[in-house]
Amino acid sequence: MSGELVGYARVSSLSQDYALQVEKLELYGCTKIFYEKQQANAKRPEFKKALDYLKEGDTLVVYKIDRLARSTRDLHNIVHSLKEKGVGVVFIKEQIDFSTPAGKLMFTMLGAIAEFERDLINERTTEGRERAKKQGKHIGRIGQSEKQVQQALKLFAEREVNELSVNDIVKLTGVPRSTIYAKSKQISKKDAD
């Protein structure tokens, strides 16, 4: 006996509509559909619910690959973990079913492509670092001036009055939020001592 066809529909913003995805998932035969309005890199609570719901023998059906994964590597990781759980994956638009021989071949190719992409990125990064070192350039994040940090801390301390969010302060000063929080914590600790 085959398992349940479980759909997953996702749009990236609240203004977008997933009616087309839902229509295609229903036509495919999905009896349960999880709906998500989240960016691909954001936490996806409905996707997590779908993963918890899926059981061995079920198939996760998604309208398009980009609705499920943000990169080849991400796709490979998701499909691999579902495969280990005994769950199939189907992408309607691309006509890929990872439970078929052709789908298994595609999965293997995607894994090889993901590995190739990682190797290329690592190789380019290493070459870039070596070239920068030879040219005597600074490697890593460029630090902020003390003046920028002080300005950011002043705005952070007065944020209730100036009604600026931490993101606003980061944009105005160029000082990362981690630096703002760390320096602010140091100042608070010194004041407490």
Q: 57 and 10, same structural domain? A: yes
Statement: residue 12 has pLDDT above 90: no
Catalytic residue among 12, 15, 81, 165, which?
12
pLDDT digits 0-9 by tens, 59-110: 999 998 888 887 777 888 888 899 999 999 999 988 889 888 888 787 778 7
Q: Let me know: does 43 contact 35? Beta carbons within 8 Å.
A: no
Mean pLDDT for the stretch of residues 39-47: 74
Statement: residue 33 has pLDDT above 80: yes
What percent of the chain shows pLDDT beyond 90? Answer: 27
Q: 154 and 84, same structural domain? A: no
Q: 101 and 30, same structural domain? A: yes
Q: Which residues pair with 10 in a beta bridge?
A: 36
pTM, full prediction: 0.58
Report if residue 159 sits inside a domain: yes
Of 64, 90, 110, which closes a domain? 110
Domain boundaries, position 11: 5-110
How many structural domains is the chain composed of? 2
Report if residue 134 sits inside a domain: no
The question of whether 12 is a catalytic residue gets the answer yes
Distances in Å between the Cα of 121 and the Cα atoms of 117, 126, 127, 151 are 6, 9, 10, 36
pLDDT score for 1: 43
Report if residue 28 sits inside a domain: yes
Q: 70 and 13, same structural domain? A: yes
